Structure 1
């Protein structure tokens, strides 16, 4: 079974010759973005940006994963094609030579045509053009789709030009007149099209028409651009006037279409600001060279991301009128994370192609190629931009010899021999000044926004360090979230550092550190540390984690990190954290593949054990009354990070949260099932208190699979219980009761009364959520009886609170109050503040429903104080919601409005959209008392189990 993906028209997929339904436009856009980069990893953040742009949904990552899953099912069984997860992104795999993506077949045909003879080139290019089925990416909208569509149109245009050149070289002419007349009308100022049309007219015996068209074209160029036709077109005009017989040579005569005026410069950077002194220096060099009759060579140097390419392109576009004979550009990939530096013979071959040289006339020797190149550009007013050079040897063959030409070279190296031997003027860029940086932000996000928040803008400029790229990416974050104050953008940048700036896919337009040449100067040990950092789970790391990862003593690990930081391969971030740019990390991952398997696996085991055992200790500090199954001893030499108290544990978990989620995914991939399960268990309290329910669900879903591989049968019962309880919290009622029933069945089968009690308590909450308070009360009473029989007073208090809560919901307030007071007594006796808080919340509800509104407010505020002390934002949101009702009953509308606004903010932060909408309605309708449709989760304290 084969698959074909179409991008050069409507985005389609055919599996075994049958067109399959790809679903909505966003899913087709995901496939298009992956197919456009088939065979290369596309970072998840870039996919989100490409698919949704500035209108990304709140949970864009989840939506992306959903689209990927559906596409995988669509392509299931297709030979040689699949979508796989790689570090930080996704990859469309292609295993066979006949590329299934029409865009890549198109590009392959173009590449093959360059090395073919003229007749083969005509066949190949004709086949390439025939692959197009209209507008590329038809049906897709958004910034990426529009930009990609424009770029593909340019590729088609260039291919059509190449095809006509090839047809002219094989002797065609008369048969091209009608086609070229239409193209000349469509591109009236394109001198390449004009030259083709002139030659075709001349071959058709219409030399007078050719000469008349040349006169009209020259008038248009003078009128609209203030310039005469370029030298190649003028030469063709003279040859037609002279009736040059070579122009009429039939097939086999080797006639070459006229050399065109190349315009290879990429678009000028938008919103370029500042650099006036540097731009003036380049202009002064040009004017001085003109007086001295020497070729001007300006070497622009500086760190990656400092704006070298931006400066070169901006200057070249500003002075385009000085270079009517052509503008050449090549990226030499000197410091590319994915490509080797381009050999000079490849670069010069590209220039010769752009200058219209017949492939058969290009010599094989580099020196001869360089001589031909210099001859072609001699006395032509051209600018040559050699971007991202690594050595002078790479550049020298590309230097023209004519003083009419201007050369701009960008490099992170000084290229000393160019300065010494070729008179290059060195211009080293520094960071932008504060004023220039503010101007860049103003251009991107609006002068009014910048003026409104001057302190936030100052912090953004300071955090970005004046780097143009960092400022541009930060401005993009602000511009795409216009409702967000710049102060919050500044706070986010301060917290995340370069992680927030990691969205650009072009290494030359980001802040990459030096890669290959930096690594060569490192010791073997430091290279190994760099490689292992590439595969370590999480977006960033700390010194203790690196020591565990590498097995090095902390002092040596710190030294290695310092060396990598000095080489700009690692960045030191606030809080003692170390991060890598994604591009650098991707390069580090490729280096890691060169290490022995046992080195990589042992390193991952060590760092996973470090995180697991630190999480285990943190959970014990957060919830000391909870049972804590031991995860087993860590790997030799691994010691968990010391955490002195609950506050330190919470801070560590907050800082490491993303890393811990990634650690579980890594453990699952490596089949370390006990790590998967214990991480889900140990993070449960933290997730619950912070409202990370979706993360909890994902971790317990992974634990469900892991539990089937673990020997203890009680593990499966616990896993179904935790998963079911999380489903209940998220409103997945059917799935919740299904898993909780399985948990209860397993606990009964294995005669585990403790697990039965925990599950009954979870079922009480689940049935309450489903609106069956009577059934919920039955389960709560079952739990109470079991806990009392087991002699577990804290658990008994949990069940008492649940019984009281369910009774209150049924209107039995006397029994409800008695049960909750008994629970509160037990909690205080055993120093259990979390249980005390939930019970106070229950008592607040009972007091409110029985008309004692002031007592209700007192209970709720006591509960709030405890929840906030514990860092339990989830239940704090519910108590804030609840306390607004007795405030309203007492006519205290401002107090109600205050607590409901705070509840609304927390609900939104936690992704609890239904709760947020309900509170918003309460705020809108503030006046008479509004009963909450779900007053509290106070009866739920199952996170202790």
Structure 2
């Protein structure tokens, strides 16, 4: 074991506040001089759920006393000098880094009253991509109570909000399976009241040099420790009865706790199975023995084979097939469709795999592999599953994600006809849900797996799924603000449509890619992809989609003040939507024309089109568009000097945006109300609105925060 770096003292911080009252107070008390505007009371932080995200600690654990003492010394050592305490635990695969970190952290939970956060960064996953810092930050912010609508879009904004939320709190962060210091650095808090524990196969020297981390190099178990671990599983009597076999097992497992644990489970399930025969199995795997002796990433392959060969044929097939997906985990329903069986059958097989320590049910109904076991399962699938069967299983899984996400989109956006796709034929049925909250919860849980499925479909020759899945998730990406993923997956969708030569599908993918760039305020890229989409829609004769693309393009061209082109596009788009006769589309047409005329400062024409759009949106049930139009009308009223009408309309737009949870729109309406209140001479109330808008813009990382701050500074 190697330890370096100065040790620091773990200290909390806080400010004392004195507040006197003339009478006894039974609950919360608010004292103020004068209050203007609306007053909203929110539950205090003490009522919020404290995140307790540590995974379950391992039952069989060799003490690792030296390493645990080092971590405890770090926690209670010398002065920190205001720096965050960081410890990195590194070592080869399967050496027990995560086990040690989780075990120690459970014993220290009482030191962290504000909770602990955990993320598996998948830095060395053999199939899936490492977790991006933006994704990890989104999960941390969600655990700290940040809703999807408030979620900042870029990594810097998310990191800044995360540091703000944990400042002064006594929290433990366990960043598991990191690949590089760059992957970890955005996840670090700035408050010395926090402790960060990082595990990695790499030695993260950069964190030691720059952030002052303490490094713990975790070595393989000694022979005595390995024997103790086997005894925890098998009992002292059995280990003592076959000392030579135990020594050989320890030698062939190279002191790796993961390999020793799996071997011990295999032996424990077969108490009459002589340990000498397990040793013989190792010796028979000549190619695998070399890797096992070297302790490499594939070194536990022979040990895994013991558990694999002991499975019933049905469970062995499930194990192999679970090696095919590349997502971070899999649900019971997805595993059932992957294997082509009923959920009840799949649950029994997954339970058998869990008992054999081949899969982990890390959440109710959700299963995941250790990365080494996943690699072995994939090898088993390649060796023991026919190519046609592997292809059929992957297709069933893709159908599971596509059919369910498509059904959810159709349910939530039933008034929106654009891009309703014809799905590939399949026997897989979509999942059903009771309400919209459950549908969105499924998407929240599965979207990392669906993104991985899109990537796999692109790589392995399922182009229809590779483009249809992003299209089915487009509304969800917008709702939750997954803009980077939106752009990445629609880029794959474009490539997939071009491979199969489906020009209409290519147009749909290009349209979605353009909208994603527009949402990221990358207007030049958005216009480029939008132009390509419109050209293709026109060529294939899809007039309905062409109308939408023209209207979206008109708004993009307005953003860069190319008004003549924007006006022509908006007029033509509205003509096409009038031909179709769809209320939502017609509402969008008039709304887009209103945006163009507003940009051109022709207020009467803009107001006329917005008022045409309003009843169309309302009859169609399109609340997002309705709120947008109301906010635009309020802005026109303010510019034209009708302050009372502007205030009333901003308030109406604000209430609707709050009701649908559109956080950015809420801030924009508050900003507009601040301007109207200033025009009415109510400067204090204007400051209240601007302050609330600034807070929201800062929380979601929106650039409009700078404009609001400038208005506050000027007034």
TM-score, normalised relative to structure 1: 0.46
> Does residue 717 in structure 1 map to residue 507 in structure 2?
yes
Residues 801, 842 of structure 1: 8 Å contact kept: no
Match of 1:85 in 2: none
1:523-562 alpha-carbon deviations (Å, 9 max, x no partner): 3433333333333232122111111112232112112222
> Does residue 748 in structure 1 map to residue 548 in structure 2?
no
Residues 336, 343 of structure 2: 8 Å contact kept: yes
Residues 845, 882 of structure 1: 8 Å contact kept: yes
The separation in 2 between residues aligned to 1:460 and 1:733, in whole angstroms, is: 37
> Does residue 819 in structure 1 map to residue 581 in structure 2?
no
* 1:312-351 correspondence runs (5 A): none
The Cα of 1:829 is off from its aligned counterpart by 2.1
Give the counterpart of 2:640 among 850, 853, 875.
850
Change in CA separation of 1:742 and 1:689 when aligned onto 2, cut-off 3 Å: same
Aligned to 1:641, the other structure's residue is in SS state coil
| Larger CA Rg, structure 1 vs 2 | 1
* 1:690-709 correspondence runs (5 A): 690-709=480-499
The separation in 1 between residues aligned to 2:665 and 2:170, in whole angstroms, is: 28
Give the counterpart of 2:312 among 523, 528, 538.
523
The Cα of 1:726 is off from its aligned counterpart by 2.6
> Does residue 630 in structure 1 map to residue 301 in structure 2?
no
Give the counterpart of 1:901 among 694, 699, 708.
694
Change in CA separation of 1:438 and 1:741 when aligned onto 2, cut-off 3 Å: closer
Residues 533, 588 of structure 1: 8 Å contact kept: yes
Change in CA separation of 1:845 and 1:538 when aligned onto 2, cut-off 3 Å: farther
Give the counterpart of 2:622 among 832, 841, 854.
832
Residues 736, 766 of structure 1: 8 Å contact kept: yes
> Does residue 308 in structure 1 map to residue 4 in structure 2?
no
Give the counterpart of 2:166 among 470, 479, 485.
485
> Does residue 768 in structure 1 map to residue 558 in structure 2?
yes
Give the counterpart of 1:919 among 702, 705, 709.
705
Structure with the bigger RCO (C-alpha within 8 Å, sep 6+) is: 2
The Cα of 1:674 is off from its aligned counterpart by 1.0
1:456-498 alpha-carbon deviations (Å, 9 max, x no partner): 24x679x9xxxxxxxxx99xx999986551899979989x9xx
Change in CA separation of 1:662 and 1:813 when aligned onto 2, cut-off 3 Å: same
Residues 537, 663 of structure 1: 8 Å contact kept: yes
Residues 673, 707 of structure 1: 8 Å contact kept: yes
The separation in 1 between residues aligned to 2:354 and 2:219, in whole angstroms, is: 18
Residues 864, 876 of structure 1: 8 Å contact kept: yes
The separation in 1 between residues aligned to 2:67 and 2:451, in whole angstroms, is: 43
Match of 2:200 in 1: 504
Residues 403, 423 of structure 2: 8 Å contact kept: no
The Cα of 1:903 is off from its aligned counterpart by 2.7
Match of 2:108 in 1: 437
Residues 334, 397 of structure 2: 8 Å contact kept: yes
Aligned to 2:431, the other structure's residue is in SS state coil
The separation in 2 between residues aligned to 1:715 and 1:541, in whole angstroms, is: 29
The separation in 1 between residues aligned to 2:368 and 2:465, in whole angstroms, is: 24
The Cα of 1:681 is off from its aligned counterpart by 1.1
Change in CA separation of 1:710 and 1:488 when aligned onto 2, cut-off 3 Å: farther
1:856-898 alpha-carbon deviations (Å, 9 max, x no partner): 3443443344445445455455445544433454422443244
Aligned to 1:708, the other structure's residue is in SS state helix
The separation in 1 between residues aligned to 2:414 and 2:442, in whole angstroms, is: 17
Match of 2:569 in 1: 779
* 1:252-651 correspondence runs (5 A): 266-267=2-3, 303=58, 306=61, 308-311=63-66, 436-438=107-109, 450=112, 454=113, 456-457=114-115, 484-485=165-166, 503-505=199-201, 514-515=261-262, 518=265, 519-520=307-308, 521-574=310-363, 576-596=365-385, 597-627=387-417, 628-636=419-427, 638-651=428-441
Match of 1:667 in 2: 457
The separation in 2 between residues aligned to 1:538 and 1:881, in whole angstroms, is: 41
* 1:773-812 correspondence runs (5 A): 773-812=563-602
Aligned to 2:200, the other structure's residue is in SS state coil
Change in CA separation of 1:639 and 1:784 when aligned onto 2, cut-off 3 Å: same
Change in CA separation of 1:747 and 1:491 when aligned onto 2, cut-off 3 Å: farther
The separation in 1 between residues aligned to 2:690 and 2:60, in whole angstroms, is: 48
Aligned to 1:535, the other structure's residue is in SS state coil
The separation in 1 between residues aligned to 2:167 and 2:315, in whole angstroms, is: 39
The Cα of 1:919 is off from its aligned counterpart by 0.9
Residues 590, 609 of structure 2: 8 Å contact kept: yes
The Cα of 1:673 is off from its aligned counterpart by 1.1
The separation in 1 between residues aligned to 2:574 and 2:490, in whole angstroms, is: 26
Match of 2:447 in 1: 657
Which sections of structure 1, spanning at least 5 residues, go unmatched?
1-264, 274-301, 319-334, 339-386, 389-409, 413-427, 442-449, 464-472, 930-945
The separation in 2 between residues aligned to 1:272 and 1:895, in whole angstroms, is: 42
* 1:160-175 correspondence runs (5 A): none
The number of aligned residues is 497
The Cα of 1:607 is off from its aligned counterpart by 0.9
The separation in 1 between residues aligned to 2:101 and 2:540, in whole angstroms, is: 72
Change in CA separation of 1:922 and 1:573 when aligned onto 2, cut-off 3 Å: same
The separation in 2 between residues aligned to 1:835 and 1:528, in whole angstroms, is: 50
Residues 673, 689 of structure 2: 8 Å contact kept: yes
Residues 807, 815 of structure 1: 8 Å contact kept: yes
Residues 675, 686 of structure 2: 8 Å contact kept: no
The Cα of 1:566 is off from its aligned counterpart by 3.3
The Cα of 1:675 is off from its aligned counterpart by 0.7
The Cα of 1:575 is off from its aligned counterpart by 5.9
1:404-461 alpha-carbon deviations (Å, 9 max, x no partner): xxxxxx9x9xxxxxxxxxxxxxxx9995697x5158x6xxxxxxxx5xxx2x24x679
The separation in 1 between residues aligned to 2:68 and 2:586, in whole angstroms, is: 73
Which sections of structure 2, spanning at least 5 residues, go unmatched?
10-56, 74-90, 121-135, 145-158, 178-183, 188-196, 202-217, 222-255, 266-306
The separation in 1 between residues aligned to 2:338 and 2:326, in whole angstroms, is: 10
The separation in 2 between residues aligned to 1:269 and 1:491, in whole angstroms, is: 19
Change in CA separation of 1:747 and 1:555 when aligned onto 2, cut-off 3 Å: closer
The separation in 1 between residues aligned to 2:500 and 2:434, in whole angstroms, is: 32
